[in-house]
Structure 1
Amino acid sequence: MMEEDDDVTQGVLLRCLSLYSRGGGCKVGATTSDEFGEIVGKSYKPVCGAQDTSVDCFSYGVEKFRKKNNKKKNFQLQEPNHNNNEMHVFLPDDILEMCLMRLPLTSLMNSRLVCKKWRSLTTTTRFMQMRRDGYYPSPWLFLFGTVKDGFCSRDIHAFDVSFNKWHKIEAEVLKGRFSFSVTSVHDNIYLVGGCSILGKMDRNSSKTHRGVLVFSPMTKSWHKVASMKHARSKPVLGVYKVNSNHLTIKSQHNNFFRTRQRIGGVSDVYEDPHRLSVRRVSRTSFEDQKSKQSKVNKSVKDCRRFLIIAAGGFGSWDEPLDSCEIYDSSSNKWTEIQQLPVDFGVVCSAVVCNGIFYVYSESNKLAAYDIGLGYWARVQTTPPPPQVHEYTPRLVSCDDRQLFMVSVSWCEGDGEIGRRNKAVRKLWELDFEYLTWNEVCVHPDAPMDWNSVFVADKNLIFGVEMFKIFGQVLEFLTMCDVSDPKMNWVHVSKNQVAREMDVSSCVMKSMAVVHL
């Protein structure tokens, strides 16, 4: 019992650092890990690093420790002038944190198996914040909503972009749940609404939810937050990170009176919620104002308050909804806001860009919700991108300042005799000054998936297409760097996880990207 207590008192013994290593350093035996494992055949194989199955915790410039002997006893140092008494050598917690927070996620998960001290140290709020502030995390893609053997799967498929590897996470809470929407906030993933059923997929016997679940990949834990006002499945979501606690949510009741006052007149803000006219008059003054605002934001302490906007979706009777509501993390409450514009149609995609919540409908209409002012406005773009209506367009925002749309259009065959028309997937960017959609690049693959999913992370756009061909369900993961002048799409992964899925996964799937 005393030997076990030595591992967790006053620091970390160097015995922990050399537990699995002959040459020194901290090598953690990956064969004992149960975190973020990779399925290989029927065996479970954890993944650490690019090739090696062990974790070198001091591979980031920290000098490795050497053993003084090969015997199975504590690390010893000779103390001069004290009759060579044995003494324990401890590694300070702050240095240990600096080493551990630089590890990739899979390696960090394995390091928690060394001892209780390490597990406790790497799960604290302080450690998580240090890891975020140090810019060490890399993007991870999480795929939800898969179906297997006719049942809603409880598996979450996570893709590590840095190491190009898929991992599978079991989540019992997702068993029987489908048609929910997901979005990432900081290092958590929010699952909003959806339906549930205990048996096989049957929409007629399902129940629509108001609840919201939160998944933390760092700790593989789940918890609930406040439920929505209305039960809805497949709502479109947007996340707005608030830099100030002074922002107030305009409820639907207050907006009703504002709308009544506009009848018989034209509101400048309603017609131009993004202040586009101001940008046309003086783009320089706008940039100066934005620069001043950024300086003010830097002086404010890190505020982790955020808003989640849920719009549209389908109700308990599978009816399209035009209601909208906002979740405020500071109060843990949902507030109803103004409904979608009249005759807008069924919303199919949404995103927050430049502090504005944009939604796109299946009838090729674009609307914007000003979060600060609290009402909707239509955005008249000229001309709208030509689309094949069977394919759902997707809005994405890069660096919170560029608004893109991925859609499918017909290619006329360049007018050559004998060349057939074909459908191609294109990426369009909205010009905020002239309100026009400009084509920026073409996806190299034929659009096989009618419900492809696209999400953006900083300057990267990730897309997952899943479809059934030759009796098998296949998936393709592609990526486009919008900061590259060429804007070429590259294949990141293909045919790794979808072979055992049902074809209904193509419709039910959803994806979120998180930095971990």
Structure 2
Amino acid sequence: MAIGRTRRSLRDLLLDKEDAEDDGFGASARRRTSKRGQFRWPSLCRLGKGAACRVGACEDCIVVGECQKPRGRASETGRSKDSEEIVPARQLPDDLLELCLLRLPFRSLHSARLVCKKWLQVTTSQPFLRRRSGDFARSSWLFLFCLNGGQGELHAFDTCLRQWRAVRADLLVGRFLYSVAAAGGEIYAVGGRSSGARTRRGVVVFSPLAGRWRRAPPMRIPRAEPVLCVLETAEARFLLIAAGGRGGEGEPLDSAEIYDPAAEEWRLIGDSPVGAACSAAALGGAFYVCSRTGRLGRYDPGLGLWSRVEASPAPPRLPSYAPAIVACRGRLFMVCVSWDRTEMARRRLWELDQGRMAWTQFASHPDAPTDPGAVFVSDRTTIYGLERFAVFGRAVQFLTACGVGPGPAVWTRVSTRGSARSRESMAVLRL
């Protein structure tokens, strides 16, 4: 039957299904055949070229799967009774429309904005973005910031579909050696250096849900490769800490500062008790920083005080590989490289027992540690690691994941791809 013919509603499909169960396949097949003997599709509408809007956003369309013919045309074919029972998209209340759009997957949200101006206005409003990045976040996305020929690039990885996608990063042009952190549904790129080797204080913010870049207040002290950490507070607020890094002359920095997005300002919080920090994590309402020697420091934002964290025995580690700390499921972990019993270097994951203040081995990484600059981040339930390997003279990136739960942890390979780009930093965000 031609596409321009009247298509059946969802109720007719359900009736056909019941008839098929009662009368058998032959009777159901006869009902799906039109008067001209042509087969009618037993599915929702399938539009071809030249059809109207596909989601029922136009003024004269009826929402049944995809867009239908106008009401006047439906009444000519005797379908006015069915059409009156279906609510047009333009008559949906704003709160109901917002609830429907909030449940769209992240990869479909940008396509929905092309439907009409109203959908664009709803999906880009600040209340919508706050709700979408909170209770309606579905899956984790990894955002990899890297350099390619001196130009900054941004690549996003969908952990569900396991696909990489390129993202425009205009504000990163001419900037490198910066650090990134995910907070409040956005990604903060802090500090770094410009093409003139000038250390920067500037901060740029990328919103994946809105698809926009913006600038944030700069830090107090210029920093290249600062250590970033995000602490979530009450009422969907957060604090961002920037510690360590290198100054304008390349000297290591012991100082740290905190950014409060509500006040839109940075403030200094003193020097870290462990010296220059190489990694940081947030746990239990406090910031933890780690030095290259494996020493831990703790900062309490409520008291405004630094303190040393004494944990023994310290995890064994090789000096050429800096340790990294991550927090996941309310537990603190440290990633270190050490020798095993067969004199092979292994990357291990250690957990801090906060009751006994002792480190215990949690998991072992499957790959040989050939990349001293490996990056490790975590979301609510998983720890992700990204390393570079040279395979037959070609640079290859391996993305691995380790689920954190009550049972034994196992590292698995998530993605493998060849890349000639130099890695900068990585952040994980639930969208």
TM-score by length of 1: 0.67
**CA shift for structure 1 position 355:** 1.2
- Give matches, 1:334-353, under 5 Å: 334-341=266-273, 344-353=274-283
CA 1:27–1:105: 2 relative to 1, 3 Å: farther
The AA in structure 2 aligned to 1:98 is L
For 1:151-185, what per-residue CA distance to the aligned partner results, in whole angstroms no more than 9, with x for missing partners?
Answer: 1x332110011111110012111111111111111
In the other structure, the counterpart of 1:514 is 429
Q: Which has the larger radius of gyration?
A: 2
Q: 1:94 to 1:206 in 2, by over 3 A?
A: same
Uncovered stretches (5+) of structure 1, i.e. residues with no partner: 1-21, 30-53, 58-62, 198-204, 244-302, 414-420
SS across alignment from 2:108: helix
CA distance in 2, matches of 1:369, 1:208: 26
Aligned-pair CA distance for 1:348: 0.8
Q: Tell me the distance in 2 between the aligned counterparts of 1:56 and 1:427.
A: 51
**Structure 1 residues 74 and 350: alpha-carbon distance in aligned structure 2, compared to 1, 3 A threshold:** same
**Following the alignment from structure 2 to structure 1, what is the Cα–Cα distance between the partners of residues 107 and 182?**
20
1:313 match: 245
**Alignment-derived partner of residue 147 in structure 2:** 147
Correspondences of 1:183-202 after superposition (within 5 Å): 183-197=181-195
Cα deviation, 1:23-73, whole Å, max 9, x if unaligned, reads 6569899xxxxxxxxxxxxxxxxxxxxxxxx9999xxxxx8347665xxx6
Cross-structure match for 1:460: 382
What RMSD, in angstroms, separates the aligned Cα atoms of the two structures? Answer: 3.1
How far, CA to CA, are the matches of 1:430 and 1:336 in structure 2? 28
Residue aligning to 1:64: 64
Which amino acid in 2 is paired with 1:407?
A: C
Deviation of 1:76 after TM superposition, in Å, equals 5.2
**Deviation for aligned residue 1:345:** 3.8
Compared CA separation, residues 442 and 65, structure 1 to 2 (3 A):
closer
CA distance in 2, matches of 1:165, 1:352: 29
Q: CA deviation at 1:98?
A: 2.8
CA deviations over 1:127-171 (Å, ceiling 9, x no partner): 223434543431100001x2223x1x3321100111111100121
Report deviation, 1:102: 1.5
Q: In 2, are the aligned partners of 1:346 and 1:363 still within 8 Å (CA)?
A: no
8 Å contact kept, 2:229–2:280? yes
Q: Pick closer, same or farther for the CA change 1:431–1:66 going to 2, 3 Å.
A: closer
Matches of 2:429 and 2:48 in 1, distance apart? 26
Q: Aligned with 2:311: secondary structure?
A: coil
- Overall identity of the aligned pairs, in %: 41
**SS at 1:107 equivalent:** helix
Write out aligned runs for 1:232-247 (5 A).
Answer: 232-243=223-234
CA distance in 1, matches of 2:115, 2:338: 54
Pairing 1:213–2:204 present: yes
Secondary structure of 1:467's match?
strand
Cα 1:76–1:351 shift into 2, 3 Å: farther
How big is the shift at 1:436? 0.7
Q: Could you tell me whether the CA contact under 8 Å between 1:369 and 1:377 is conserved in 2?
A: yes
Q: CA deviation at 1:110?
A: 1.3
1:10 paired residue number: none
- Residues 282 and 288 of structure 2 are in contact (CA less than 8 Å); yes or no, is this contact kept in structure 1? yes
1:66 and 1:383, CA in 2 relative to 1: closer, same or farther beyond 3 A? closer
The equivalent residue for 1:489 is 411
**Do the aligned partners of 1:28 and 1:111 also contact (CA within 8 Å) in 2?**
no
The equivalent residue for 1:137 is 138
Q: How many residues align?
A: 376
SS at match of 1:191: strand
Return closer, same or farther for 1:111/1:387 CA change in 2, 3 Å cut-off: same
Change (3 A) 1:440 1:66: closer
Change (3 A) 1:133 1:511: closer
Mapped partners of 1:426, 1:460: distance in 2: 15
Give the corresponding residue for 2:321: 391
* Alignment correspondent of 2:419: 499
CA 1:212–1:76 in structure 2 vs 1: closer, same or farther (change >3 Å)?
A: farther
Q: Which structure features the higher share of strand residues? A: 2
SS in 1 for 2:271: coil
Over residues 196-217 of structure 1, what are the superposed CA-to-partner deviations in whole Å (9 max), with x where a residue is unaligned? 10xxxxxxx4110011111101
Measure how far apart 1:499 and its partner are.
2.4
- Consecutive unaligned residues of structure 2, counting only runs of 5 or more, are 1-41, 58-62
Q: 1:469 aligns to what?
A: 391
Q: CA separation in 1, counterparts of 2:355 and 2:212?
A: 44
Quick one: structure 1 residues 55 and 104, their matched pair in 2 at CA, closer, same or farther if it must change by over 3 Å? farther
Residues in 2 aligned to 1:66 and 1:242: alpha-carbon distance in whole angstroms = 43
Q: State yes or no: 1:365 paired with 2:295.
A: yes
- Where has structure 1 moved over 6 Å in runs of 4 or more? 25-29, 54-57
How far 1:468 moved relative to its partner? 3.1
